Structure 1
Amino acid sequence: MSDQINTRRRRLLGTTVAGIGLMELGLSGFANAQTSGTKTGGRVASFDTIKQINAGTLNIGYAEAGPQNGPVVILLHGWPYDIYSFAEVAPLLAAAGYRVIMPYLRGYGSTRFLSADTPRNGQQAVIAVDIIALMDALKIDKAVLGGFDWGARTVDIIAALWPERVKALVSVSGYLIGSQQANRAPLPPKAEFAWWYQFYFATERGYAGYDANRHDFNKLIWQLASPKWNFDDATFDRTAESFANPDHVAIVIDNYRWRLGLSRGEAKYDEIEKRLAAAPTISVPTITMEGDSNGAPHPDPSAYAKKFTGKYAHRNIGGGIGHNLPQEAPKAFADAIIDVARF
């Protein structure tokens, strides 16, 4: 049974949906405001109610918006981001009648492990299993899934292996399912250079450095991944609170070490990883997206188009949009969710 934890209560600073009554939309726990676009002094709003529910090995924290009886959309963030990547997407979808669920992934925000003995595992399969467990706990049979970065990889995996749980899919940067075997192949020098932090995390110095400097480290990643996004300090600091999770560093380090084969993962997920290593196709209706200024490593859309065998479209988003596409271009992302649900 879920319960509510009233946290981070702040003043409601405005809304992006003029004329819409938040209470009528079931958004009483949600506040949204445009940021100023400056480097300092910006005012941002907060999800003032975070719900918690036991799901699998976790107690998952999540924000929710929209009518309880609306069709469900689940939105997944990546690293180093959190649920606030969808702060301006959520009211747009809620206004269209959707029930929007935005969970903190393991290692972020208020999500916690139920047992101290559970491995702090960050491999790709386990994050997908977490979301299936969340859907089961919330009694959600099927949903539209959307995500970017780790979130895009996770929704890809669920759509590939559990298509019966997915009505439709929006995946930023397209098909991101990988494998340890595929990652053994070296990349061209420029591509390897783009993964500098992955190699840093492979060392104990990197583990200690990330632990000690996670705020500044992640702010640097935001700047590199979205070089034209003029986010302000308040916007970053709002998300940076989620990095204080006691398992955050362990999960992030394990995620990147697993990719290089430096962390084995858990044996109980071997069969799932074996299926993922075969690069399964995705048959559910899908829209993939890419910003024109994504500074993070990402595949070219032509490299993955054939992995989507159902109704499919790709959208390039212009205007200096970087890696955190939902937060940088919320209307474009919300439109994709609404459109793909109608495919």
Structure 2
Amino acid sequence: MAFFLAQRLLYLVPVLIAVSLLTFSISSLLPGDLAMTILADQATPENLAALRRDMGLDQPLWQRYFTWLGHIMQGDFGRSFRTGQTVLQALAERLPVSIELMLLAQLGALSIGVPLAIVCAARSGGPFDRFMTGTAFAMLSVPTFLSAILLIYLFAVELRWLPATGYVPFAEDPLGNLRFMVLPAMTLALAEWPGIMRILRSDMIATLQEDFISLAKAKGLTPARILFVHALKPSSLTLVTITGINIGRLIGGALIVETIFALPGIGRLLVGAILTRDLIILQGVVLLVAAGFVIVNFIVDLLYAVLDPRIRHGHA
């Protein structure tokens, strides 16, 4: 297991370097002059030259990259030229909201997709299986913003059960926090559960045809024990992969959902940075989010080894 862990860590280093290169390129690829954007009405030739010198904008691109990377290694991700807030401070305020949203959405998607996949696999080819498969296909074609609008209209406008927009910190009012988070999390969960259901259903149908399942049936084990103990675990490798990849999809969905529901998360922070051309915040947040996504997928690789010992012994 130690060798497996060291091997995966070595793979992680070039990926993180590539992420830093792509993130740094944001400031170079976007049109416009960063110094001109920062100074706005005060953009005299002398002020522009002084600011470019202070920020290193007059240096070659490769030199600017290594200078920026050195600051990152020291924990300095930059400071917003509009608000004066550092990137780490902005993330410390916004990241808990987005993490809570993604966790609730992922739990909701798993709560819907996994039970449906198990039932469909156990009754493969039946009416319920065909109905749920068709429903999953239909749900995959529904965009996130449309689901958000429909949920707001149904639960906030018509039924008045839940608030449409706003946010209350969990530490101040746990129940109020959950009321504000239900609709956003449900919006993302509705986009994620069809993929989870379809993948797990296919894997479980294949697993239920294996010889060890026939042996378990011959021993007289109950159908529930066969499904949940013997069939679910070997079928969950692909599910773990999908769950890790979904983190990236959830981050993308958060950009839309947090804007629609007025949640103060990293999605709205990124949108605001783009609209105001706050490239320092944009660059730092994108780097941390991308690095977090890479680390999550590294953890997923480790879960493979836990679920299937053949992987960590190199016989998979």
TM-score (norm 2): 0.20
TM-score (norm 1): 0.19
Q: Which of the pair has the greater relative contact order for Cα pairs under 8 Å at 6+ separation? A: 2
Bigger helix share? 2
Please identify the structure whose Cα radius of gyration is greater.
2
